[in-house]
Amino acid sequence: MTASADVPESEKREVLHLLEFVVSTDCSFERNGSKHTGEEAYKHIKRKYEHYKNDITTTEEFIEYSATKSTVSGKEYLVYCETGTPVTSKDWLLKELSVYRQNGAM
């Protein structure tokens, strides 16, 4: 029997915050050439998180495994916000994680 991994309790709030950040955004997500709402992206990321939970031990790994790129095509997910210039979802989420940590919300 193998032990089940997941982010430590101290980082679960970070993961929950990032999931909330995704579901509540007005930005759109591009996955394999199709654009999706924050709610659709949230459902996809949450599903991948549940699938990879045993491999994830940090918030950064949550982002890497669940919200960075397509496991089918290998293409990075892109996020389009106000400027219209896409950024990778990885950079977008790491920036939000940094802001969250700087605000002492850990």
Report pLDDT digits (tens) over 66-88. Answer: 999 999 999 999 999 988 899 99
Q: Say yes or no to pLDDT of 1 above 70.
A: no
Q: Say yes or no to pLDDT of 37 above 70.
A: yes
Pairing of strands 78-80, 28-31: antiparallel
- Rounded CA-CA distance 36/30 in Å is 6
Looking at residue 105, what is its pLDDT?
63
Give 65's contacts (C-beta < 8 A, 6+ positions apart): 48, 49, 52, 55, 56
The token duo for 22 is: 């995704």
Give 14's contacts (C-beta < 8 A, 6+ positions apart): 7, 59, 97, 100, 101, 106
